[in-house]
Homo-oligomer: A and B are copies of this chain.
Amino acid sequence: MKLFYAPTSPFVRKVMISAHELGLVDRIELVPAAVSPINRNADVVAQNPLGKIPALVTDDGVALYDSRVICQYLNSVASGQVIPPEGPARWTALRDEALGDGLMDAAVLIRYETFVRPEPLRWQEWIDGKFEAARSAVRGIEAQAQALEGRNDIGVISIACALGYLDFRNPEFDWAALAPRTAKWFAGYKAHPSFQATMPK
């Protein structure tokens, strides 16, 4: 399999952690791919018309995207448990994946607004709205922090990637101050070799 990737994308990281946990890393060839909302990458567009990463090309030559679909596919290839097959554990995992993804979306839009967009065109209310969404998401994670313990499904992987991305891009946001129980869980989660092997650089 080939994965179009960038080492700083939290959505790519979600896929890579899943691949580590599923024992599939050695079967994935990484293809470095820089993308931006303004400048499109033709190599990526050829596989994913949306021009976004991660995009996976399977051994059968089928292009799959986005990160959620790729994680479901990898779980299927490995007959794994990153995606619980049914019941409440499945819906909690998928719902928490959406929560982590939504937090990442907010953080990436903050990054675009405060780093990519020309300064005179930045809109403070938009930035405020995205930070409020991020705070709300962190509070939502904190409200169920006890339920994160001991899990290793796509929900906690996504939440960990989102928190790691905030630490990487917005350390001054200090999410841990809003979510002390989550911070305690995250301190333990960080020890996973899959998390250590995928730290953004």
Q: Chain A interface (Cβ within 8 Å of chain B)?
A: 37-40, 45, 48-52, 62-66, 68-69, 72-73, 76, 86, 88, 91, 94-95, 97-99, 101-103, 106, 117-118, 121-123, 125-126, 128-130, 132-133, 136-137, 139-141
Contacts and interface: CB of A to CB of B under 8 A. Distances in A.
Given A95-B69, A136-B40, A50 B102 contact: yes
- The SS class assigned to the A binding surface is helix
B102 A52 contact: yes
Contact of A129 (B40, B49, B98, B118): B40
Contacts of A97: 69
3 smallest beta-carbon distances between A and B, as pairs: A49-B140, A50-B102, A69-B94
Contacts of A62: 88, 91, 95
Contacts of A51: 133, 136
Given A37-B130, A62-B88, 10 more contacts: A38-B129, A39-B129, A40-B129, A49-B140, A50-B106, A50-B133, A50-B137, A52-B102, A64-B95, A69-B95
Contacts of A50: 98-99, 102-103, 106, 133, 136-137, 140
Contact of A69 (B69, B73, B98, B122): B98
Contact of A40 (B45, B49, B133): B133
Contacts of A65: 95, 98-99
A40 B134 CA distance: 12
A183 to B, nearest CB: 17
